[in-house]
Structure 1
């Protein structure tokens, strides 16, 4: 009988090194993404989200026929207060004339709405459409 000696395969070693390399790559990618995210300012996105939510709540009130001044004025006041921070949220656009024009138009729409608050759903629909158009115009230029 002849005895043959088989050399152990290196496949397990290669597989281990491959898996270990993938794990290290994933961990490094997560750390890099986290570091990049920490360097970004969350304020502009947060401001836009809160303003969008207030606009959605106005539209929701209109759809539910809850269009009294008591239902709409707090939302409009919040939007107007938040609009004061647009320059702070986007400091790179502070000197841009188009951005200032959009921000001024948005504030003017809110001032008009607060000056004569919508008292019925028809008036609220006009106000929400105007606010939406102001937002859309700015986003078309700067998004």
Structure 2
């Protein structure tokens, strides 16, 4: 007598093809998203990140009661130097009067702070409040 012929289920083959297709789809999606990300200009986000970090460090200096001009001036100088690149970071806004007003106000606040560097934590708090207001006003209009 002969052995009955086993019929192998095709479901395992279909399952394998489905899993392979999903895996290839995920890989292709990740590759496409990375290619799109590489085409983006990272300078605006980077500039905002560094400005925020410098402001945060000034705030930490104030909290630690390290408000001597020698502690504060380098951070203010860095902020002022970075503020020169606002127009470069946002070329689509360079002709917008509101953006120019916000950028000019931010630079003016930094110029005033550098002209008379805060010598105590109370003065630094006022400067930080002005800088925060300048940033917030711009972000409300353009974010």
Task: Please report the TM-score for the alignment, with normalisation by the length of structure 1.
Answer: 0.96
Distance in 1 (CA, whole Å) between partners of 2:74 and 2:93 is: 28
Q: What's the counterpart of residue 69 of structure 1?
A: 69
Q: What's the counterpart of residue 60 of structure 2?
A: 60
Matches within 5 A, 1:31-110: 31-110=31-110
Distance in 2 (CA, whole Å) between partners of 1:3 and 1:26 is: 44
Matches within 5 A, 1:19-34: 19-34=19-34
Any gaps of 5 or more consecutive residues in structure 1?
none
Q: What's the counterpart of residue 139 of structure 1?
A: 139
Give the count of matched residue pairs.
Answer: 143
Aligned structure 1 segments of 4 or more residues deviating by more than 2 angstroms:
1-7
Q: What's the counterpart of residue 112 of structure 1?
A: 112
Q: For 1:98-123, what per-residue CA distance to the aligned partner results, in whole angstroms no more than 9, with x for missing partners?
A: 10010000000000000111000000
Distance in 2 (CA, whole Å) between partners of 1:3 and 1:46 is: 72
Q: For 1:13-59, what per-residue CA distance to the aligned partner results, in whole angstroms no more than 9, with x for missing partners?
A: 11111111011101101110110011001110100000000000000
Deviation of 1:3 after TM superposition, in Å, equals 6.2
Deviation of 1:5 after TM superposition, in Å, equals 3.9
Distance in 2 (CA, whole Å) between partners of 1:74 and 1:96 is: 30
Distance in 2 (CA, whole Å) between partners of 1:82 and 1:3 is: 83
Deviation of 1:8 after TM superposition, in Å, equals 1.4
Root mean square deviation, CA, Å:
1.2
Any gaps of 5 or more consecutive residues in structure 2?
none
Task: Please report the TM-score for the alignment, with normalisation by the length of structure 2.
Answer: 0.96
Deviation of 1:94 after TM superposition, in Å, equals 0.5
